[in-house]
Amino acid sequence: MMRGKPDEDDYWNSSKFKAFTFDDEDDDFTRLKESKRAVNSIRSLVEEEDEEDDVEKVSWSGEPVGSISWSVKETESSIRSTGEVRDQSFPKIHTAPSLPKNSSGYSLSSLFKGKAKTGSFQSFSESFGDPSIRNYAPELRKPKSEYKDYVSDWTPEETVKRMQQGKVYSLEKFRSLQDKLLLLDEAVNAHDGNVITAVLIYLKKSLSKEILFRELITREIALRHYIHYLKEIGEQKLLVELFKSMDRTEDMALMQYRDHLNVRDENKRRDFLKNCLSFPFSPDDATHVQDHYTLLERQIIIEANDKQVESSGQADIFKKYPRKASILNMPIITTLYYSCFYHYGESDGTFSSPANIRKTFRISDKQFLLTCLGARAKLKAWFDVDALFTTKNWLGYTKKRSPIGFHRIVDILQKNNAPVQVLQDYVNLVEDVEQKISLAQKYKCHDVIINTYRDLKDRQQLIVYRGKVEKGSSEYRKIEEILSNSQLRWKN
């Protein structure tokens, strides 16, 4: 069926490795193909008997065609196929090898052939549930005599096989809905996504979408191929209709929401998001999309304002720390950081103030603190950092509190290059003594270590530590002082 390629290794000559020849311009070859096809079809006309063999050959799958029930039925199918295992064939999967062999010994195709010949075909919907009938495809064909042209006289199985092998095929003769669906189910049965999609493209062209959608509902595998195909070629509208017809409204909403990524202009994107608000999201997602819209709306206002302020050179903060990028399309937390950086201390009323952002987007205390801390520490505004943790109780005493462990705070401050004087305040607040000492050692907060050992009355450790600090330094002197203090009662 293919041109001879004398140069090629034997191996590559096995049919499947051949190049596809859709568009071959070789005239000789085309003619050869034509005649071969003609010869083939003549044979099938003449030798009716041969057909059984043909079917036998392609009935390897033996699986029911209904794709939705694939998972459940495949067990069944492989059990049935045990009846026709030929000793010489490549082994099949037996899901239940312990079951007794099918005693009939008939091949699948011969069974179905008998059945199909006697029974006239019911309407398609009735026969839908019975895989055996649909498996026997050749009977669905019109009597041969009706064919004027037998160029593409292939069964669904043969067609799918030819497509898989990259041979010439034709889908045009699959005109009745029944034939089309048989073809689709055959493609699904062959587990070849490429062919499934090809068949779906043909169905898309030749069936009204309502009919196609209706049939796809019961064919999960084909449906997923169809959705993926539409996604890839960007047929958004059709996808939306598909989801709608299947009542998959959340998928539909997300699908449409996804499109905002294609809108470059920020004002148009904001309008697009506003439009999204009416889509049927799940309640949680609806809140998030609402946030998305609000966020972009505010970012546009903040951006316009700050750009103007920056270029006019009015505010010191922009002069000292010029903005590296626009705030548009940044996440909420980045926006909050930005606002803590450039708009700290603004009143709650302005969109750009940290307090307003916190409230609008329901940001947790912990999250707010972390972000704020990062921004203020970056600016080395240690006073602001201090204020973040300071709470007054009703008696007016101040105390430092934090929703996250102080060892974490130390870590963040250290990463922002906080000086030792600042760091040690926070190291001191770490509750766990061991952790406190290890942090203090890591960041060289001598005072904290010395005081902790003193409080622990641990003379030995203090002596050890004296050996680690520089002789004559203030730390050294401090240790000396403590060690010589006769008031202290050491535990060791």
Site for another protein in 333-352 (CB under 8 A): 333-334
Name residues whose C-beta falls within 8 Å of residue 266's C-beta, 6 or more positions apart in sequence.
Answer: 296, 299, 300, 303, 328, 329
Q: Which is nearer to another protein, 326 or 473 (CB)?
A: 326
Which residues in 353-392 contact another protein (CB under 8 A)?
361, 363-364, 366-367, 370-371, 374
Residue 261 buriedness (CB in 10 A; 0-12 / 13-18 / 19+): exposed
Among 8, 50, 247, 481, binds another protein (CB under 8 A): 8
Q: Give the x/- contact pattern for another protein in 261-280, rule: CB under 8 A.
A: xx------------------
Cα distances from 36 to residues 16, 152, 316, in angstroms, run: 19, 12, 85
Which residues in 391-450 contact another protein (CB under 8 A)?
404, 408, 412
Among 4, 28, 39, 89, binds another protein (CB under 8 A): 89
- How far apart are the C-alpha atoms of 424 and 446, rounded to whole Å? 9
> At CA 44, angle to CA 42 and CA 46, rounded to 5?
70
DSSP-assigned states of every residue in 268-303: HHHHHHHHHTTS---HHHHHHHHHHHHHHHHHHHHH
Say whether residue 249 binds another protein (CB under 8 A). Answer: no
Residue 309 buriedness (CB in 10 A; 0-12 / 13-18 / 19+): middle
Which residues in 90-149 contact another protein (CB under 8 A)?
90-96
Q: Which is nearer to another protein, 226 or 453 (CB)?
A: 226
Q: Which is nearer to another protein, 132 or 360 (CB)?
A: 360
Query: β-strand 398-400 against 390-392: which pairing, if any?
Result: antiparallel
Q: Which is nearer to another protein, 127 or 334 (CB)?
A: 334
User: Is 372 within 8 Å of 389 (Cβ atoms)?
Assistant: no
Which residues in 157-216 contact another protein (CB under 8 A)?
163-166, 190-198, 201
**Cα 179 to chain centroid, rounded:** 35
Q: Give the x/- contact pattern for another protein in 9-48, rule: CB under 8 A.
A: x-xx-xxxx-xx-xx-------------------------
Among 4, 100, 322, 331, binds another protein (CB under 8 A): 331
DSSP-assigned states of every residue in 352-408: TSHHHHHHHTT--HHHHHHHHHHHHHHTT-HHHHHHHHEEE-TTS-EEE--SS-HHH
Coil vs helix vs strand at 328: coil
CB of 335 to another protein, least distance (A): 9
Q: Which stretch binds another protein (CB under 8 A): 211-219, 251-259, 339-347, 376-384?
A: 251-259
CB of 203 to another protein, least distance (A): 12
Tokens matching residue 162: 């030819």
Q: Which is nearer to another protein, 258 or 457 (CB)?
A: 258
Tokens 């399309």 correspond to: 329
Q: Which is nearer to another protein, 195 or 469 (CB)?
A: 195
Q: Which is nearer to another protein, 130 or 235 (CB)?
A: 235
Which residues in 42-71 contact another protein (CB under 8 A)?
60-61, 71
- How far apart are the C-alpha atoms of 463 and 467, rounded to whole Å? 7
CB of 439 to another protein, least distance (A): 13
CB of 370 to another protein, least distance (A): 5
# of chain residues touching another protein (CB under 8 A): 85
Say whether residue 254 binds another protein (CB under 8 A). Answer: yes
Q: Give the x/- contact pattern for another protein in 280-319, rule: CB under 8 A.
A: ----xx--xx-xx--x------------------------
Tokens matching residue 403: 């929703």
Cα distances from 89 to residues 16, 86, 102, in angstroms, run: 19, 6, 18
CB of 256 to another protein, least distance (A): 11
CB of 60 to another protein, least distance (A): 6
